[in-house]
Structure 1
Amino acid sequence: MTTGVRAGDVADRRAAEFGELPAGRQPVLGAFSVAGFPDLRSSVSAFVAYAERGATMLEVGAPAADPWLDGPAIAAAHRCALRAGDGVSITLETVRRISARSDAPVVVMSYWSTIQALGPRRTAAELASSGAAGCLVPDIPPEHVEQWVAAAVEAGISAPLLANRRAPYDELVVACRAATGFVYAPAVEGQRTGYSAEIDMDSLAAFVRSLRHIAPSARVLTGIGVSTPALATHVVRQGAVDGVVVGSPLIRALAEGGLSSSADLVHQFAAAIAQPQDR
């Protein structure tokens, strides 16, 4: 299986957007929440605060009626956000407002059903005009990867892709080599967001090594199960990743303790992983 996006074009684009990863570069901290949760204004304020407290990438979840890859905390945030209206409109407005107040790159996380409903080209164009830097589609069917990546490239945004740990090798090759921006490698296999048990660091490191063999220039980020700052430190040091994306802990902190609580937690995660990385 091959894509219509040339490997050289992808490598050039990735390098232009994110640069190389020299030894000692600080790991990426992605802060995830759902657009419009708990309401539009509070959502935007939270993302801006996360950037101010150390998040180097903001991942905005597009509210979906069936967030089937997400655990209870994020699924509840999806339901809450959708009470205010259409998920696409909420997402675009959230991104616009964040981009007006922060220079941090904004990557939207959208389910494929949402992309399909609007159309890949229109979705990518709308996201680009709103100020998004990219859009991760974690459940995109392999046969649509080429179409989506081409639409994103045309619109001028990145198209990160998920590396499914249960996928056949040829599908991993397609995802890793077609992805722009980064490859998202789940820290645990077959779990939804909000997972809080142990992470097999050796297994994660081996999986990341296999991804780097497939696509040496790809930046690899991980998430799912990175539930505490201390665990984030271990994942970055032992998992051989370029950074972590944190979602469920921030959503719980925002729901239970408000913005100051969730922003403080972002700062704790940022401080925990702020160590020089030897590569």
Structure 2
Amino acid sequence: MTSGVHVRDSVVGLDGQAGRREPLLGAFSVAGFPDLGRSVDAFVSYAEGGASMLEVGAPSANPWLDGPAIAAAHRCALRGGDGVRVTLETVRRVSARCDTPVVVMSYWSTVQSLGLRRMAGELASSGAAGCLVPDVPPERLEEWVAAAAEAGISAPLLANRQASYDELSVTGRAATGFVYAPAAAGQRTGYSAGIDLDGLAAFVRSLRHAAPATAVLTGIGVSTPELAAAVVGLEVVDGVEVGSPLVSALADGGLHGAVGLVEEFAASITRSRGR
């Protein structure tokens, strides 16, 4: 059994557990930001601060889904060398230091350039539990999910807020681990102008109807601990993922401030479920 399989089995423990009561907090940063050593320290500290999943962004030259803060982190990380190499080394070091599941977020161009099976296999060998690819072409979806399964890692997918019911059904049923539902429709990461909570709830209910066994996490627009609590308090999602606030805190105030923010997010979502 590879390390990837072992971690995925404990992962997020989300497959088949949609609607679980204990909310999950995913903490995102870019591999190699601000440099390899401090990147690893940040992820490990986020786990110690209450994150129940670590999302490692693979540095990309075209992070189209990301706003200014994370895009700047991608540029910084790429100055440290090849994005895939930095990602694999980050995952390897983080997995060696903590048991918190690590899910890589990679754009399709990176996966395709390395090769689907090779990418999935190397991620599994490094200790990753899964790989979220937000822009898998529909015609390659089955191939990518199969490659991930063969390697023993999960293949979470992004649910488009503008998708038809049939498209949501395909995404929800194909995804393994979880499906990522943007909290703010039509926005990039770092959006902080508020969330239409009723609209998010309606979208997630539609997604669950299409794929009832698939767990749902949300992010993009979850900019404060208070908003995270409000989102989790809807009791339609299984957890939230936080990225831009942590990346900005790490860039502006260093690790101490970023870890403090993780602790605030963790406490807020726990309180929101009455625990």
TM-score over 0.5 for the pair:
yes
- 1:257 and 2:253 aligned: yes
Q: Which residue of 1 aligns with 2:3?
A: none
d(CA) in 2 for partners of 1:141 and 1:190? Answer: 19
d(CA) in 2 for partners of 1:182 and 1:272? Answer: 22
Match of 1:217 among 206, 213, 216: 213
Q: Which residue of 1 aligns with 2:74?
A: 78
- 1:121 and 2:117 aligned: yes
d(CA) in 2 for partners of 1:46 and 1:167? Answer: 35
2:70·2:247 contact (CA, 8 Å) conserved in 1?
Answer: yes
Specify whether residues 125 and 158 from structure 1 end up closer, same or farther in structure 2 by C-alpha distance, changes over 3 A only.
same
Match of 1:248 among 244, 259, 263: 244
Shift in Å at residue 169 of structure 1? 2.8
d(CA) in 2 for partners of 1:120 and 1:208? Answer: 29
Q: Which residue of 1 aligns with 2:185?
A: 189
d(CA) in 2 for partners of 1:26 and 1:145? Answer: 30
Q: Which residue of 2 aligns with 1:165?
A: 161
Which has the larger displacement, 268-277 or 141-150? 268-277
Q: Secondary structure of 2:237's partner?
A: coil
Shift in Å at residue 46 of structure 1? 0.2
- 1:206 and 2:202 aligned: yes
d(CA) in 1 for partners of 2:84 and 2:140? Answer: 20
d(CA) in 1 for partners of 2:132 and 2:53? Answer: 13
Specify whether residues 24 and 64 from structure 1 end up closer, same or farther in structure 2 by C-alpha distance, changes over 3 A only.
closer
Q: Which residue of 2 aligns with 1:154?
A: 150
1:109-128 Cα offsets, whole Å, 9 max, x none, are 00000000011111000000
Shift in Å at residue 188 of structure 1? 1.0
Specify whether residues 208 and 150 from structure 1 end up closer, same or farther in structure 2 by C-alpha distance, changes over 3 A only.
same
Q: Which residue of 2 aligns with 1:54?
A: 50
* TM-score of the pair, normalised by structure 2: 0.93
Q: Which amino acid aligns with 2:181?
A: A
* TM-score of the pair, normalised by structure 1: 0.91
**Percent identity over the alignment?**
71
d(CA) in 2 for partners of 1:209 and 1:60? Answer: 28
Shift in Å at residue 175 of structure 1? 0.8
Q: Which residue of 2 aligns with 1:92?
A: 88
Specify whether residues 152 and 261 from structure 1 end up closer, same or farther in structure 2 by C-alpha distance, changes over 3 A only.
same
